[in-house]
Amino acid sequence: MAVVTIREALNQALREEMQRDENVFLMGEEVAEYQGAYKVTKGLLQELGAKRVIDTPITELGFAGLGVGAAMVGLRPIVEFMTFNFSILATDQIINSAAKMLYMSGGQFNIPIVFRGPGGSAYQVSSQHSQALESWFAYFPGLKVVMPSTPADAKGLLKASIRDDDPVIFIEQERMYGIKGEVSDDPDFVIPLGVADIKREGTDATIVARSLMVPVALKAADALQEEGVSCEVVDLRTIRPLDIETIIKSVQKTNRVVIAEESHPFCGVAAEISSEITERAFDYLDAPVKRVSGADVPMPYAKNLEDLAVPTVDQIVAAVREVAYLD
């Protein structure tokens, strides 16, 4: 065990899996000579060589599709998007090719590929460089969607994603690369996909969170504990397939639930979870399910406006107080 940042944990996962399997290669913009726009791929070119760590032109649709094609014939590409904002250019290949190939080929061509990179809100880069896209990708059967919130999860989930035989959308959080935590150095340390994690146990209310909202929810839980409210924080870790059972069990225990997310509320992951809870655990609810989502606007540049667009500790505290009828 060593204490490392999320950035370093991801770097370890990439290095270990590339050393383990010759068929794994990494491609993307600035991943090799520049050492990664966010330094996640630091040192990999030097250690693994230019055949395995490939700088691409700025051509997202092209290299995403190239990766899917390579995956059709046995390679296991890791395609880095410098940020997930640019994956929007590649969505035809991600959705129409990667997600559907196995199905429309009658089970003949699975696509073992990882599309990874930072997503979610960044710092003051305005609308096109700061957005949460997981609900887009999670919509499609055939894709798996993963969002870690700690260094250990980042490493274990990325290793599992690279070993997975299906296309995985692996969204790191741009603001979280520097977060530190203990990480295993066991080369076979993997965290299975599709399993949520209870980051804090509690009895009075459940806060369902993912990615950046996990540390925010944990701070909210600390604040609420001081008021005598015990919150359970469920970290989804994998968005699709969704570990709904863990959420339902928590709701059955606490009877109150707040779902926190960075993304826009409309057609979002929280809306889906809310619907599932209503269908499966309606009788256990002592209050309506409450969502805390990012503002339903493109991300603004001005610091004060940006702060208003991303959910805060105070907003989550207020939402829990609301479902607990404390006001």
Partner 1 sequence: MAKPNYEMRKRTPEPSRVGADETSATGVMDQESPETDAATNAAPEQTTGELKAAQKSRLADLDRETLIDIYHQMLLARRFEEKAAEAYSGGKIGGFCHLYIGQEAVAIGAISAIRRDDYVLTSYREHAHAIAKGMSPESVMAELFGKATGCSKGKGGSMHMFDKEVGFLGGHAIVAGQIPLATGVAFASKYKGTDQVTLCFFGEAAVNQGAFHESLNMAQLWKVPCIYICENNQYGMGTSLERAMSSHDISQKSCAYDIAAEFVDGMDVLAVREATLRAVERARKDYLPTLLEVRTYRFMGHSMSDPGNYRTRAEIERHQERDPIKLFSASLKEEGVLSDSEFQEIEAQVKEQVEKAVKFAEESPLPDPKELYTDVYASPINTQRD
Distance CA 137, CA 135 (A): 6
Other beta carbons within 10 angstroms of residue 136's beta carbon come to: 21
* 69 lines the binding site for partner 1 (CB under 8 A): yes
Distance CA 72, CA 268 (A): 31
Among 57, 226, 228, 283, binds partner 1 (CB under 8 A): 57
- Least Å distance, CB 60 to partner 1, is 9
Tell me the window of 31-39, 140-148, 182-190, 258-266 that interacts with partner 1 (CB under 8 A): 140-148
Among 244, 285, 295, 326, binds partner 1 (CB under 8 A): 244
Among 104, 297, 302, 305, binds partner 1 (CB under 8 A): 104
* 245 lines the binding site for partner 1 (CB under 8 A): yes
Tell me the window of 127-135, 173-181, 238-246, 297-305 that interacts with partner 1 (CB under 8 A): 238-246
Nearer to partner 1, 7 or 240 (CB): 240
Q: Which of 8, 17, 60, 134 is catalytic?
A: 60
Tell me the window of 29-37, 54-62, 198-206, 252-260 that interacts with partner 1 (CB under 8 A): 54-62
Quote the tokens at residue 113.
Answer: 């590929």
* 129 carries an active-site annotation: yes
* 59 lines the binding site for partner 1 (CB under 8 A): yes
SS3 content of the chain, % helix, strand, coil (to 5): 40, 20, 40
Tell me the window of 149-157, 225-233, 235-243, 309-317 that interacts with partner 1 (CB under 8 A): 235-243
Distance CA 260, CA 269 (A): 10
Other beta carbons within 10 angstroms of residue 324's beta carbon come to: 20
* 272 carries an active-site annotation: no
Distance CA 135, CA 145 (A): 9
Nearer to partner 1, 67 or 215 (CB): 67
* 255 lines the binding site for partner 1 (CB under 8 A): no
Q: What residues have CB less than 8 Å from 314, skipping those under 6 apart?
A: none
Please, which residues bridge with residue 24 across strands? 76
* 300 lines the binding site for partner 1 (CB under 8 A): no
Distance CA 306, CA 191 (A): 33
Nearer to partner 1, 193 or 231 (CB): 193
Q: What residues have CB less than 8 Å from 145, skipping those under 6 apart?
A: 134, 137, 138, 168, 169, 171, 238, 239, 240
| Angle 246-164-143 from CA coordinates, rounded to 5° | 70
Rule CB under 8 A: which of 169-198 touch partner 1?
192-194
Tell me the window of 5-13, 97-105, 224-232, 282-290 that interacts with partner 1 (CB under 8 A): 97-105
Nearer to partner 1, 188 or 327 (CB): 188
Distance CA 49, CA 93 (A): 27
Quote the tokens at residue 117.
Answer: 């990179």
Other beta carbons within 10 angstroms of residue 52's beta carbon come to: 19
Among 71, 122, 132, 231, binds partner 1 (CB under 8 A): 71
Residue 309's SS3 state is helix
Residues involved in catalysis: 60, 129
Contacts with partner 1 by CB under 8 A lie at 25, 51, 56-57, 59, 61-75, 77, 92-93, 96-97, 101-110, 112, 141-142, 144, 164-166, 192-194, 238, 241-245
